[in-house]
């Protein structure tokens, strides 16, 4: 009886694999509540947690499922480990998804810039950013920079792309002239 209760509790948070499927397995996350809104106090330091930095406020319900599917395929491809034979007996770690409370993006064309900015900031101060996310605190400008910094990055990237395009055109022209001389 106690074992059955423990199993049912685990099933709320484990990844379940349908063994009857071939190598491209379908994996489902079974949970009573939305994985993105779980109480952060339940998440331990050793739990696998995926942080989503989305300045467009999109919904990402399949992140955990897709990430686990990817890791299973990678294990099979890179390590030649077929986990389908051991998964039924394997207790997989819980995978939590936490949405970082970041500034709203003002347009739909700066996603890459926001991503680069988030990555740079997170790697610069991982504990500070992690603690803010885990405590459901907004990442304020002191921690995460300002929209002005992202605009400056957009201008820098635009200027860099323009400069590289000009260099590429100049190089192509030099190569055409060189080919003309050889003919």
Q: Which residues contact 32 (CB under 8 A, 6 or more apart)?
A: 12
Q: What percent of the chain has pLDDT over 90?
A: 12
How confident is the prediction for the chain on average, in pLDDT? 72
Listing DSSP states for 110-142 in one string gives -HHHHHHHHHHHHHHSHHHHHHHHHTT-B--HH
Same-domain status, 82 and 14: yes
Q: How many angstroms separate the CA atoms of 34 and 8, rounded?
A: 17
Q: How many domains does the chain have?
A: 2
Indicate the pLDDT class of residue 5, thresholds 50, 70 and 90. low
Q: What is the pTM of this model?
A: 0.55
Pick from 144, 158, 52: nearest CA to 96 = 52
pLDDT tens, 97-128? 888 888 888 788 888 888 888 888 888 888 88
pLDDT band at 59 (very low <50, low <70, confident <90, very high): confident
Q: If you average pLDDT over residues 149-178, what whole number do you get?
A: 92
Residues 43 and 69 in one domain: yes
Question: Does residue 3 register a pLDDT over 70?
Answer: no
Q: Which domain holds residue 73?
A: 1-99
Q: DSSP label at 105?
A: P
Q: Tell me: the pLDDT tens digits for 6-47?
A: 444 443 333 333 333 333 333 333 333 334 444 556 777 777
> Which among 99, 133, 148 is the end of a domain?
99
Task: Please tell me whether residues 85 and 109 are part of one structural domain.
Answer: no
Q: Are 18 and 25 in contact (CB under 8 A)?
A: yes
Query: What is the rounded CA–CA span in Å between residue 134 and residue 128?
Result: 10
pLDDT score, position 10 = 40
Instruction: Report how far residue 10's alpha carbon sits from residue 123's, in angstroms, rounded to the nearest whole number.
Output: 33
Could you tell me if 67 and 149 lie in one domain?
no
Q: Which residues share a beta bridge with 53? A: none
Q: Which of 76-85, 130-139, 172-181 has the lowest mean pLDDT?
A: 76-85
**86 and 17 share one domain:** yes
122 and 50 in a single domain? The answer is no
Say if residue 13 is in the same domain as residue 91: yes
Does residue 1 share a domain with residue 65?
Answer: yes
Position 128 scores a pLDDT of 86
The Cα 176–Cα 129 span in angstroms is: 51
* Residue that finishes a domain, picked among 38, 70, 99: 99
């Amino acid at each position: 009886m106690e074992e059955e209760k423990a199993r049912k509790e685990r099933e709320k948070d484990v990844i379940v694999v349908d063994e009857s499927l071939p190598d491209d397995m379908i994996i489902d996350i079974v949970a009573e509540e939305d994985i993105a809104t779980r109480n952060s106090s339940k998440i331990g330091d050793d739990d696998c947690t995926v942080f989503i930095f989305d300045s467009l406020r999109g919904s990402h319900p399949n992140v955990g499922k897709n990430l686990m599917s990817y890791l299973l395929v990678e294990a099979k491809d890179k390590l030649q480990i077929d986990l389908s034979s051991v998964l039924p007996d394997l207790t997989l770690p819980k995978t939590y998804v936490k949405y970082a409370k970041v500034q709203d993006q003002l347009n739909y064309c700066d996603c890459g810039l926001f991503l680069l900015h988030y990555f740079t900031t997170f790697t610069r101060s991982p504990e500070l950013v992690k603690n803010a996310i885990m405590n459901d605190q907004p990442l304020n400008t002191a921690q995460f920079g300002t929209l002005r910094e992202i605009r400056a990055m957009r201008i820098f990237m635009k200027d860099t792309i323009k400069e590289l395009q000009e260099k590429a055109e100049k190089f192509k022209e030099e190569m055409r002239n060189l080919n003309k001389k050889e003919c």
